[in-house]
Amino acid sequence: MTNKLKIGIIGCGAIGMKTAEYIVTELREKTELVGLYDKDPDKLSALKRIASGKIVTDLDGILKEADLIVEAASKEAVRDLIPRIVQYNKDLIVISVGAFVVYPEILEMTKQCKGNIYVPSGAIIGIDGLNSLRFGNVRSLTLTTAKPPRSLKGVKTADGEAVESVKEEKVLFEGDIMQAIKLFPRNINVAATIFLASRYENVKVIVKVNPALERNTHRIEIDAEEAKMRVEVENIPSKDNPRTSYLTILSIKSILQRITSNLKIGS
């Protein structure tokens, strides 16, 4: 078949692996996995085993061969990829969304892309509402993230206590999105996705540690002239990378399904 969508994956970790499996199984009628790339050769060769047929394993080769690239690597990978996506006119799915906030020059550069750049909703929900309210008058937007101590390993409270010793829920941070990104870089993708969808400059971020929690919880509250919105998600971690919420993997499946299907549901 020549008219299958050719897909290349950059990053062969938890997300890359599940994405590759989905492409070669459920999407095999409509897509073809043509390339895999990882800076870690062991990760690359482990994932290469699931693919049948010829697989390109160098970045330039993938950029030439694939119609669509899935980035599942790091914000640095996105920073380096965007100029090349512009050069090669390819479509791209970006999951390390924080790159667009940390390196604002690449967000600007996306305007020169002839291909499409897709940002899945990742670990958060409610992006449809945020996309709509971008055209409304938002008065306030708050992201509250609460995590069990093990998900915040290495973080200290304002009075210097290690999160692992905290006995009850404690606010670790309350402030604006840029400060939050600096202090809690692992939370950056959710905050960046909210910012990109809403384009609201004054997103307030609250980060809490809560020993009673089992799951990472994100709540978005928006007060806009046109609507009030409150959504909350409790995420289970991926078995392959506990720092990644499993919902992120499902959001990539969803966007691939949307790209390859004629029926597109939601905004």
Ligand X SMILES: NC(=O)c1ccc[n+]([C@@H]2O[C@H](COP(=O)([O-])OP(=O)(O)OC[C@H]3O[C@@H](n4cnc5c(N)ncnc54)[C@H](O)[C@@H]3O)[C@@H](O)[C@H]2O)c1
Catalytic sites, residue numbers: 218
Counting contacts by CB under 6 A, is residue 77 touching ligand X? Answer: yes
Q: Which stretch binds ligand X (CB under 6 A): 13-21, 102-110, 137-145, 167-175?
A: 13-21
* Distance (Å, whole) CA 133 – CA 206: 21
Number of residues that bind ligand X (CB under 6 A): 29
Find the binding residues for ligand X in span 48-67 (CB under 6 A).
none
Residue written as tokens 């971020």? 205
**Cβ partners under 8 Å of residue 45, min gap 6:** none
Find the binding residues for ligand X in span 114-173 (CB under 6 A).
122-123
Phi, psi torsion values for 22, nearest 5 degrees? -65, -40
Counting contacts by CB under 6 A, is residue 189 touching ligand X? Answer: yes
Among 26, 58, 60, 76, binds ligand X (CB under 6 A): 76
Q: Which stretch binds ligand X (CB under 6 A): 24-32, 138-146, 155-163, 239-247?
A: 239-247
Residue written as tokens 């990053």? 11
CA angle 227, 130, 89 (to 5 degrees): 155
- Which residue in 163, 122, 133, 134 sits closest to 146, CA to CA? 163
Residue written as tokens 């009673």? 212
Among 9, 12, 23, 194, binds ligand X (CB under 6 A): 12
Counting contacts by CB under 6 A, is residue 70 touching ligand X? Answer: no
Task: Supply the Cα-derived Rg of the chain in whole angstroms.
Answer: 19
Counting contacts by CB under 6 A, is residue 27 touching ligand X? Answer: no
- Return residues touching ligand X (CB under 6 A): 10-16, 37-40, 43, 72-74, 76-77, 95-97, 122-123, 189-190, 193, 241, 244-245, 248
